[in-house]
């Protein structure tokens, strides 16, 4: 029996850069500045350069990377925030936690991201209901960015704030512009399984808006004003640990190579699978970081079960549209419905994907999928 293939293999990367990681951790243990130590600033500078924005602000998680900008901008009761129904829960969650109303919008079949037509309808629905459209969180699902040129035009017309959820797309580009550089502000996550992950929770916020950056920096430390224990605004404890920043500096150094390696895995999968399942498509002008390689199949649950029986792990991102979740069932949805979101939730299946996935393991995934589908 061949060894089991991991869905995501963090050990292979660790083995590659273990000496650098050990040295980085030892340095932090030696200086002892665990909270906002020098590595946080150094990492933020590298991040800002990577994304090409004026401000990169480390924070405690990808969730806080969405919450802090909303809090800093005063989003709350009476405000409507448009979020895709087919995504991870964070964008809807932080809107609701702040007392705003998450409003669910449908997504596109071809790139899994916010549908511009559905968004236009949603804005019109909200205005008819006498509510205030305030912001939107386009999510860059699976590593490919949303249609920002079109989204930005709608935001400008309707005076909407854009918070780009780049948790899965850090390292991707659209028309040559890096993920994290779109909208008023963007947030990403360094959860261990993300394309750039740390060894715990972490995240970052990107913006070119000096005044918003200043408010976010304050919100990250309890809304602290001029001087310690003086609070001008509401805030929380949303800092990135020095240890995580030190680890991320080492991981960022090899990240561009890892993005290329992910693309090679994706290309091989696509070549070998395009005739038997619906493979993911990267639209012209975009690159993906392949946070997930997600196929669409009809008999998804059985296929996942048969793959598992043959030692191939798969995952479902995401099995239920947010609008169908008990916690969000009472929030409004676009009047034209969420047909694509509901359908994708039934058909998507993510395959093992990481930069160190060997060709042998890729072939095992490919052959197993061919065998199962042929047998049906």
Ligand X SMILES: *Cc1c(COP(=O)(O)O)cnc(C)c1O
Q: From CA 147, how far away is CA 200, in angstroms rounded?
A: 31
203 binds ligand X (CB under 6 A): yes
Give min distance, CB of 190 to ligand X, in A: 7
Binding segment toward ligand X, per CB under 6 A, in 83-91, 151-159, 219-227, 239-247: 83-91
* Full DSSP string of 252-307: HHHHHHHHHHHHHHHHHHHHHHTTTSB---PPTTEE---S-EEEE-TTHHHHHHHH
Give min distance, CB of 88 to ligand X, in A: 4
63 binds ligand X (CB under 6 A): yes
- Extract the tokens encoding 56: 């990169």
58 binds ligand X (CB under 6 A): no
- Extract the tokens encoding 221: 């430390």
95 binds ligand X (CB under 6 A): no
13 binds ligand X (CB under 6 A): no
Q: Residue with the closest Cβ to ligand X? A: 62
Binding segment toward ligand X, per CB under 6 A, in 40-48, 82-90, 212-220, 330-338: 82-90
Q: Rule CB under 6 A: choose which of 73, 106, 201, 250 binds ligand X.
A: 201
Which lies closer to ligand X via its Cβ, residue 167 or residue 304? 167
Phi first, then psi, for residue 286 (nearest 5°) are -120, 155
Which lies closer to ligand X via its Cβ, residue 111 or residue 201? 201
Which lies closer to ligand X via its Cβ, residue 276 or residue 316? 316
Q: Rule CB under 6 A: choose which of 87, 101, 207, 244 binds ligand X.
A: 87
Give min distance, CB of 253 to ligand X, in A: 21
Count, residues in the chain: 376
Give min distance, CB of 87 to ligand X, in A: 5
Which lies closer to ligand X via its Cβ, residue 61 or residue 184? 61
Q: Is the peptide bond before 317 cis (omega within 30 degrees of 0)?
A: no
User: Is 80 within 8 Å of 134 (Cβ atoms)?
Assistant: yes
Burial profile 326-338: b = 16 or more Cβ within 10 angstroms, e = fewer: eebeebbbbeeeb
8 binds ligand X (CB under 6 A): no
What stretches of the chain adopt beta strand conformation (E)? 55-59, 79-84, 101-105, 132-136, 161-165, 173-174, 177-178, 185-189, 203-207, 286-287, 293-296, 348-351
Residues within window 119-178 making contact with ligand X, judged by CB under 6 A = 139, 165, 167-168
Which lies closer to ligand X via its Cβ, residue 262 or residue 361? 262
Give min distance, CB of 65 to ligand X, in A: 7
Binding marks (x or -) toward ligand X, 14..53, rule CB under 6 A?
A: ----------------------------------------
Closest CA to 366 of 255, 269, 224, 245: 269
- What is the number of other CB atoms lying within 10 angstroms of the CB of residue 233? 14
Q: How many residues bind ligand X (CB under 6 A)?
A: 14
Closest CA to 308 of 317, 320, 318, 300: 300
Binding segment toward ligand X, per CB under 6 A, in 87-95, 120-128, 233-241, 257-265: 87-95
Kindly tell me the sign of the dihedral angle through the C-alpha atoms of 344, 202, 143, 262: negative
191 binds ligand X (CB under 6 A): yes
User: Is 246 within 8 Å of 25 (Cβ atoms)?
Assistant: yes
Which lies closer to ligand X via its Cβ, residue 303 or residue 344? 344
189 binds ligand X (CB under 6 A): yes
Which lies closer to ligand X via its Cβ, residue 325 or residue 368? 325
Closest CA to 350 of 321, 306, 313: 313
Kindly list the residues in this chain that would bind ligand X in the complex (CB under 6 A): 61-63, 87-88, 90, 139, 165, 167-168, 189, 191, 201, 203
């Amino acid at each position: 029996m061949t060894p089991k293939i991991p869905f995501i293999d963090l050990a292979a990367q660790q083995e590659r850069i273990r000496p650098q990681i050990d040295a980085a951790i030892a340095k932090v243990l030696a200086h002892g500045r665990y909270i906002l130590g020098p590595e946080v600033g150094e990492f933020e500078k590298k991040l800002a350069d990577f994304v090409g924005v004026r401000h990169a602000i480390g924070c405690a998680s990808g969730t806080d990377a969405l919450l802090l900008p909303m809090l800093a901008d005063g989003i709350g009761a009476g405000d409507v925030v448009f979020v895709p129904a087919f995504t991870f829960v964070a964008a809807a969650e932080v809107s609701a936690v702040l007392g705003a109303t998450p409003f669910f919008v449908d997504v596109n079949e071809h790139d899994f991201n916010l549908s511009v037509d559905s968004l236009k309808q949603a804005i019109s629905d909200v205005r008819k209901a006498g509510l205030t459209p305030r912001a939107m969180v386009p999510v860059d699902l699976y590593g490919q960015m949303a249609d920002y040129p079109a989204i930005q035009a709608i935001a400008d017309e309707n005076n909407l704030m854009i918070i780009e959820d780049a948790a899965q797309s850090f390292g991707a580009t659209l028309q040559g512009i890096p993920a994290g550089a779109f909208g008023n502000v963007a947030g990403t996550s360094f959860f261990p399984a993300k394309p750039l992950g740390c060894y715990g929770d972490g995240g970052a916020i990107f913006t070119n808006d000096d005044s918003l950056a200043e408010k976010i920096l304050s919100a990250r430390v309890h809304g602290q004003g001029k001087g310690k224990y003086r609070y001008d605004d509401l805030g929380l404890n949303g800092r990135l640990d020095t240890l995580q920043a030190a680890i991320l500096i080492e991981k960022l150094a090899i990240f561009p190579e890892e993005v290329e390696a992910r693309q090679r895995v994706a290309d091989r999968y696509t070549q070998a699978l395009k005739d038997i399942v619906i493979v993911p498509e990267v639209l012209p002008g975009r690159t993906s970081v392949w946070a997930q390689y997600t196929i669409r199949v009809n008999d998804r649950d059985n296929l996942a079960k048969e793959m598992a029986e043959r030692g191939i792990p798969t995952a479902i991102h995401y099995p239920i549209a947010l609008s169908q979740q008990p916690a969000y069932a009472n929030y409004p949805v676009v009047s034209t419905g969420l047909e694509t979101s509901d359908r994708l939730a039934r058909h998507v299946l993510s395959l093992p994907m990481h930069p160190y996935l060997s060709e042998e393991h890729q072939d095992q995934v490919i052959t197993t999928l061919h065998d199962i589908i042929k047998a049906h």
